[in-house]
């Protein structure tokens, strides 16, 4: 397997996932090595000349006016990491940590940070060999970068802190020794170069947008099954309707639904049973489509940030300039993640409303109450809807924007912060809740189809139904529903679920990809 080449310019979401989840290895491009060496030469020269440059020969934050001698530059950098390791709470999942390491390497490889190549190589070796620092989730303001969590990453590089290695939680030094990686001593500018950036929030966000794009596909699939269970009207998905409005996500969703439902004997046309459906069925293209457009925007912004120089100060070798700026500020990502949170939450909101129509005998067009044939003795899917309602309500709390908040820090030197890391964590939590809701809808729709009488499903929805029923049987009497829900979530988390359906629909899309 070829390594992914890191150059600070061309990392995309698919490559990110390959490294983070599939353990693909990375290496630096020749150009990035050259750029890093040039910027390091400038840093060394400024230290030797004792030139006053923020973070190189000065303290940090409010201490930016305190000059530090060249003899103390190494101590300065180590003190920075130790003092800033103030993260609290549970540790991030290993895939998030891998993403943090990858993104920091990518940012440093641009050559604006003045770090030594050997230091970047150490971090790269840790990533390639699976030494994953334990990084607490809480403690970042998302401006001055993710200072606290990134400091926990750096601790392990010089043999402090803790790391996971081959499933074991170990002291940083022991983990490095077991992996055969030499610990390092930081020198001028390096501590700051390693922690001044948005890589923690961006790693969480990159994983979340990847999963959100898959959730969007799953939402169309779950909606198609519910449509059939309720004998829904497909006229509302006609392409003419959506082209008349012009939103790309809406057009794509209508097309997806028609292809999934093509050939179904359970859908209806307007006027056959009723003239029009409720919004949760009729407006699926408009609602799912709006989320698709949100995700398209978020992916674009996240991929920009994945390749961004977010250090301070930045070193411009051609001009021999070191400029203190604010690229560490997480506001572009904070707003993006708040928007992403809303886009994901709405998929769950409308899914829960469809689920309610399935279990409510006043709305389900003849299905038994709570989808059980012996109601009263059995409760059927009654509390499945409760659980879904609880999750979507929790999402509404989590979707409150983090980016509109700010609080001053560093004695008012850092007087506006983004809260972007909180925003990314909220988006991730909303994603996890929403996936559960979609799993509940699919499970409930399959039960409703069986009770309605499966007269023949659509070209794509049939594949989904069969995949569900290959693992989970029809509910005839009450059983522990938590087990069915968790099994259903496992099924849809596996990307093969979507892949099998896409294969079936290839002929409908020809050269184009489904789920744009």
User: Percent of the chain at pLDDT above 70?
Assistant: 97
Residue 315: per-residue pLDDT = 93
pLDDT in tens, 292-331: 999 999 999 999 999 999 998 999 999 998 898 999 999 9
Cα distances (Å, whole numbers) of residue 401 to 69, 103, 328, 430, 436: 43, 25, 20, 13, 22
443 within 8 A of 488, measured Cβ to Cβ: yes
| 433 vs 436: CA distance, rounded Å | 5
Task: Note the pTM of the prediction, 2 decimals.
Answer: 0.95
Q: How confident is the model at residue 60 (pLDDT cuts 50, 70, 90)?
A: low
The secondary structure of 336-369 as a DSSP string is: HHHHHHHHHHHHHHHHHHHHHHHH-TTTSSSPPG
Which two structure tokens, joined as six digits, stand for 455?
């007269």
pLDDT at position 73 is 76
In sequence order, which ranges of 283-419 are alpha helices (DSSP H)? 284-306, 331-359, 382-398
Could you give all domains of the chain from N- to C-terminal order, each with its CATH number?
4-197 (1.10.275.10), 205-509 (1.20.200.10)
Over residues 197-217, mean pLDDT: 98
C-alpha 318: how far from its chain's center?
Answer: 36
Whole-number Å distance between alpha carbons of 252 and 248: 6
Q: Are 413 and 440 in contact (CB under 8 A)?
A: no
Q: The tokens of 295 are what?
A: 């995700």
Q: What is the DSSP letter of 268?
A: B
Report d(CA 338, CA 424) in Å as an integer.
8
How would DSSP label each residue in 118-160?
Answer: HHHHHHHHHHHHTEEE--EEE---SSS-SHHHHHHHHHHHTT-
Quick one: average pLDDT of 211-224?
98
Per the DSSP assignment, residues forming a β-bridge with 58 are 67
As a whole number of angstroms, the distance between CA 48 and CA 266 comes to: 78
Q: Is the pLDDT of residue 198 over 80?
A: yes
- pLDDT higher than threshold 90 for residue 51: no
pLDDT at 277 over 60: yes
Instruction: Look at residue 14 and tell me whether its pLDDT is greater than 80.
Output: yes
Q: Which of 70-79, 155-164, 177-186, 250-259 has the lowest mean pLDDT?
A: 70-79
Query: 343-360, pLDDT tens digit by residue?
Result: 999 999 999 999 999 999
88 pLDDT band, cuts 50/70/90, is very high
pLDDT for 478 equals: 97
54 given a catalytic annotation: yes
Residues 69-79: pLDDT tens digits? 767 778 888 99
Confidence band of 59 (pLDDT split at 50, 70, 90): low
Residues 6+ apart with CB under 8 A from 442: 218, 221, 222, 225, 464, 468, 488, 492
| Band of pLDDT at residue 255, cut at 50, 70 and 90 | very high
Q: Does the structure show a pLDDT above 60 at 62?
A: yes
Q: Round to whole Å and give the CA distance between 35 and 319.
A: 14
Q: Which of 164, 206, 158, 163 is nearest to 186 (CA)?
A: 158
Q: Between vectors from CA 471 to CA 468 and to CA 472, what angle results, nearest 5°?
A: 75
- Look at the chain and count its residues: 516
pLDDT given at position 514: 58
**Phi, psi angles (nearest 5°) of residue 276:** -150, 155
Whether residue 238 is predicted with pLDDT greater than 60 in this model: the reply is: yes
Task: Name the catalytic one among 54, 112, 237, 465.
Answer: 54
Task: Quickly count: other Cβ atoms within 10 Å of residue 197's Cβ.
Answer: 30
Query: Can you say whether residue 135 is alpha, beta or left, with left for phi > 0 and alpha for psi between -120 and 50 degrees?
Result: beta
3-state per-residue secondary structure call for 231-246? CCECHHHCHHHHHCCC
């Amino acid at each position: 397997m070829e390594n992914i080449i890191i150059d600070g310019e061309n990392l995309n979401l698919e490559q990110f996932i390959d490294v983070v989840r599939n353990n693909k290895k990375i290496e630096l491009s020749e150009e990035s090595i050259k750029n890093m060496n040039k910027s390091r030469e400038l840093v060394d020269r400024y230290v030797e000349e004792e030139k006053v440059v923020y973070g190189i020969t000065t303290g940090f934050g409010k201490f930016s006016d305190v000059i530090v001698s060249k003899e103390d530059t190494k101590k300065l950098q180590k003190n920075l990491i130790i003092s800033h390791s103030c993260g609290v709470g549970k540790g991030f999942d290993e895939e998030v940590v891998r993403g943090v390491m990858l993104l920091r390497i990518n940012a440093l490889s641009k050559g604006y940070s003045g770090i030594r190549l050997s230091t970047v190589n150490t971090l790269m070796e840790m990533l390639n060999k699976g030494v994953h620092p334990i990084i607490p989730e809480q403690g970042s303001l998302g401006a001055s970068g993710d200072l606290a969590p990134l400091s926990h990453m750096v601790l392990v590089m010089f043999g402090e802190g803790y790391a996971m290695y081959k499933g074991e939680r170990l002291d940083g030094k022991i983990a490095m020794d077991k992996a055969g990686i030499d610990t390092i001593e930081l020198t001028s500018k390096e501590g700051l170069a390693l922690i001044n950036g948005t890589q923690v929030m961006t790693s969480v966000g990159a994983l979340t947008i990847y999963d959100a794009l898959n959730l969007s596909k799953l939402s169309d699939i779950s909606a198609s099954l519910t449509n059939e269970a309720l004998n829904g009207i497909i006229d509302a998905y006609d392409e003419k309707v959506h082209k008349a409005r012009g939103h790309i996500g809406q057009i794509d969703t209508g097309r997806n639904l028609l292809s999934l439902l093509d050939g179904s004997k359970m859908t209806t046309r307007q006027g056959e049973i009723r003239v029009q459906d409720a919004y949760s069925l009729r407006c699926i293209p408009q609602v799912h489509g709006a989320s698709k457009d949100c995700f398209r925007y978020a992916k674009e912004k996240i991929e920009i940030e994945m390749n961004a120089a977010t250090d301070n100060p930045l070193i411009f070798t051609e001009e021999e300039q070191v400029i203190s700026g604010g690229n560490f500020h997480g506001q572009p990502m904070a707003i993006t993640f708040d928007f992403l949170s809303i886009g994901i939450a709405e998929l769950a909101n409308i899914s829960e409303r469809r689920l309610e129509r399935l279990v409510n005998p006043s709305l389900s067009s003849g299905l038994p109450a709570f989808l059980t044939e012996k109601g009263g003795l059995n409760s059927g899917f009654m509390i499945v809807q409760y659980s879904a309602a609880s999750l979507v309500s929790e999402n509404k709390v989590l979707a409150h924007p983090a980016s509109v908040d700010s609080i001053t820090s560093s004695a008012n030197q850092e007087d506006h912060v983004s809260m972007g890391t909180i925003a990314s964590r909220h988006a991730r939590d909303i994603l996890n809740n929403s996936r559960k809701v979609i799993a509940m809808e699919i499970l409930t729709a399959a039960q409703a189809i069986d009770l309605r009488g499966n007269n023949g499903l659509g070209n794509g929805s049939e594949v989904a139904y069969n995949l569900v029923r290959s693992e989970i049987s029809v509910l005839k009497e009450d059983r522990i529903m938590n087990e069915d829900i968790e099994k259903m979530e496992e099924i849809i988390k596996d990307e093969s679920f979507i892949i099998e359906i896409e294969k079936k629909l290839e002929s409908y899309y020809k050269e184009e990809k489904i789920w744009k």
